Homo-oligomer: A and B are copies of this chain.
Amino acid sequence: MNIIPQQCNAEVAGRIGRIASELAARGIDAILLSNFANLYYTSGRVYCGYAYITATGCVTYFVKRPNGLEGDNVVYIRKPEQIADFIAGASRPLTVAMELGIASYNTIERLKGIFTDATIADATPIINKVRSVKSEFEINKLKECGVHHATAYHNIEKVYRSGMSDIELQIEIERILRSEGCLGQFRIAGDTMELFMGNLLCGVNAETPSPYDFAMGGGGLDESLPVGCNGSLIKQGNTVMVDMCGNFNGYMTDMTRVYRVGAIPELAERAHQLSIDIHHRLAAMAVPGVEAKALYEEAMRMVKEARLEEYFMGLKQKAGFIGHGVGIEVNELPVIAPRSRDTLVAGNVIALEPKFVIPSVGAVGIENTYVVREGGLECLTNAPEQILELY
């Protein structure tokens, strides 16, 4: 079995080329990757080992596991020190980028031993920048996710039964998503983020702050995973916000829709409509060359104009962003935040999630995943945006 799945051959070559160009532009001779998301990006497959890519565009896959992967550029190793034997003589790099922002301190110290004379640079911003611009191959994978994601959400109304708790409904939605092909695993960068298959928030639980840097919180079922559902009953007058995992093929879309049980206050309806209006406004405005922070500022301007700031992005604790890149992981570049230094590029894929928490009611607002195109945003998660009634 070739390490590069056949359908990924041309795609992987393109990615290696883009990484090589980025290395050359920065005067870095090579990059050594071992994070699963980065290995998947550079080969089309998750394996245990390392990808070594030079600024001249050569890639070597150093594989520990699984057995049986093939390819001209596949080298089986048992320990990283063996990489040194393959990088000898004239081709020895003077500067090597490693995943300083991801790999453990001990791991990096060990890997440094492979390149004793080299200067070490940080691979994280380099690979994150390259990954933030999606190819048409990747956009097609994301489109496929969006279709499955929307199809699964379409079935949410069918599994609701009056008297359910938030977690009972979440379990049924998990089953719908898995049956639709969701791989479950929620890939997320950084060591202070974790979530099990997404977040469902209902009623006052939406007000509870969580330790994680997600847009919304929730108390969770247990102190060991304090986010999302807390087991409370879904009551008349509650909203139910569903923001669940859209990983159907190694890529993931991010999508939120809101439901209600019975009538909800006009404030909640108005805030939800404002979220939709923000989406439409930003979808037209977000063309290549626009600063990510300008999108945040425009959303905040609209929220202030509507005098809904106190509910925006949380009540007792506010998220500091309204959107983020998404792809192999749920938190990629660009970040749509007030201090973001990112500028939109054609091929960025971003999830926008202007949301509100309404006291005693729950969370409202939608999230869609979009591709940045020359003419604005193209939506990948197409489904009704209004609040739907559960009964």
Binding site for B on A (CB under 8 A): 5, 34-36, 40, 44-49, 64-68, 98-109, 122, 124, 167-168, 171, 174-175, 178-179, 181, 183-185, 191-192, 194, 196-197, 208-213, 217, 221-226, 249-250, 316-317, 328
| Complex partner residue of A103 from B184, B191, B209, CB under 8 angstroms | B191
Check B211–A184 contact: CB distance below 8 A. Answer: no
Are A67 and B225 CB-contacts (below 8 A) given A175-B175, A196-B183? no
Which of A36, A181, A250 has the most C-beta atoms of chain B within 10 angstroms of its own C-beta? Answer: A36
Check B209–A66 contact: CB distance below 8 A. Answer: yes
Check B67–A223 contact: CB distance below 8 A. Answer: no
| Complex partner residue of A194 from B185, B192, B316, CB under 8 angstroms | B185
Check A225–B46 contact: CB distance below 8 A. Answer: yes
Closest Cβ of chain B to A74, distance in Å, is 13
Are A223 and B101 CB-contacts (below 8 A) given A196-B184, A213-B65? no
Q: Give the residues in chain B near A213, CB-CB below 8 Å.
A: 48, 65
| Complex partner residue of A67 from B40, B46, B191, B209, CB under 8 angstroms | B209
Check A316–B209 contact: CB distance below 8 A. Answer: no
Check A224–B196 contact: CB distance below 8 A. Answer: no
| Complex partner residue of A212 from B65, B124, B222, CB under 8 angstroms | B65
Some 7 contacts from A to B, beta carbons below 8 A apart, are A40-B223, A47-B211, A48-B213, A65-B210, A67-B209, A99-B104, A184-B197
Check A48–B249 contact: CB distance below 8 A. Answer: no
Q: Give the residues in chain B near A104, CB-CB below 8 Å.
A: 99-105, 191
Q: Give Cα A208–Cα B181 distance, bound, in whole angstroms.
A: 21
| Complex partner residue of A211 from B46, B168, B250, CB under 8 angstroms | B46
The 5 A-B residue pairs whose C-beta atoms are closest, nearest first, are A224-B250, A66-B209, A184-B196, A105-B108, A48-B211
Check B106–A122 contact: CB distance below 8 A. Answer: yes
Q: Give the residues in chain B near A99, CB-CB below 8 Å.
A: 104
Check B46–A183 contact: CB distance below 8 A. Answer: no
Q: Give Cα A65–Cα B210 distance, bound, in whole angstroms.
A: 7
Check A250–B226 contact: CB distance below 8 A. Answer: no
Q: Give Cα A135–Cα B196 distance, bound, in whole angstroms.
A: 28
Q: Give Cα A67–Cα B316 distance, bound, in whole angstroms.
A: 7
Are A45 and B175 CB-contacts (below 8 A) given A102-B104, A104-B105, A184-B196? no
Q: Give Cα A58–Cα B40 distance, bound, in whole angstroms.
A: 44
Q: Give the residues in chain B near A181, CB-CB below 8 Å.
A: 221
Check B191–A102 contact: CB distance below 8 A. Answer: yes
| Complex partner residue of A105 from B100, B196, B224, CB under 8 angstroms | B100
Nearest-neighbor residue (CB-CB) of A3 within chain B: B223
Are A317 and B65 CB-contacts (below 8 A) given A36-B194, A105-B103, A197-B184? yes
Q: Give the residues in chain B near A249, CB-CB below 8 Å.
A: 222, 224
